[in-house]
Amino acid sequence: MSCVTPGTEPQRPLRIAILLNSYRSRLLPAIRASYERTIGAVAPDARLAFYEPANKYGEFPDPACFDLVVFGGSNVDPRKSHQWILDVHAFLRRLVTHFPEKKVLGICWGHQTISRVFGGKVVDAARPEMGVATVNLTEAGRQFFPEAAILGSFKLQQHHRREVAVAPAAFVQLAQGNQCLLSESNMILTFQGHPEKDAETARLRMHDSKRWFGFDAQLDEKAWARLQELIFMEHDGPAIWRRILDWIWEPPVLGTGIVDKVSKM
């Protein structure tokens, strides 16, 4: 594979490296397929490469060969100190230090992990979220997401029970509650929600409702039906992916000192 020269939009398909961080999950094939469907719907020629650092020791992409590196979701608490999690932290530090003009995207666990590595704080959410939910934008978010500016919000699939309580320094809040963050360098974008997750994939995790909320289809039919409604609601995942893929070609904001903000935890 030839590698990517930064600076201008190339006349070739996008190359995206995706870190699937779920540990020994039977759902990994479905998660991978969801990325392929949702990105393929807006960029059919994009070339995706998948990596599993939680399951395959030391498996990380060469950032020079990609336009975007995605830190995806996981089934493990990002505050843990498992060796593979520390390896992901180390890879992120190398990435931002040695490839400062490489775009980085964080989704759910990736959003939380990037926040932690840059000095933010992750806590247990007061109430877990599952299904499509409204993400309310800040003024900076309205400028970044012009398609959503009139409504002042967008809708995404959610599936999390932890959240970023304190955003890291040198990051701008694009959405209220630290639901979406952008580095001042314009090189790192993170979402608590899941632009890559469609209903077909989201429904596979509905069983978490028993652990998270105390009900399932047998215990509470009405609550289960409501959860199904949330899972299958329309959302703005395709529009968010279009914005992400446009953002890849936006230039960095130099002189922000973003590398100096990386935590050594």
User: Which residues are designated catalytic?
Assistant: 108, 194, 196
User: Residue 232 has which token pair?
Assistant: 């299958």
How far apart CA 236 and CA 3 sit, in angstroms, is 32
If we measure between CA atoms, which residue out of 191, 127, 193 comes closest to residue 158? Answer: 193
Distance, in Å, from the CA atom of 168 to the CA atom of 111, rounded to the nearest integer, reads 11
Question: Is the Cβ–Cβ distance between 223 and 215 less than 8 Å?
Answer: yes
What six digits make up the tokens of 8?
């201008």
CB of 191 within 8 A of CB of 106? yes
**Amino acid residing at 102:** K
Cα(243)–Cα(247) distance, rounded to whole angstroms?
6
- Tell me the CA distances in angstroms from 212 to 104, 128, 159, 162, one per residue in order: 30, 7, 11, 12
For the CA atoms of 111, 145, 134, 233, what is the dihedral angle to 10 degrees?
-100
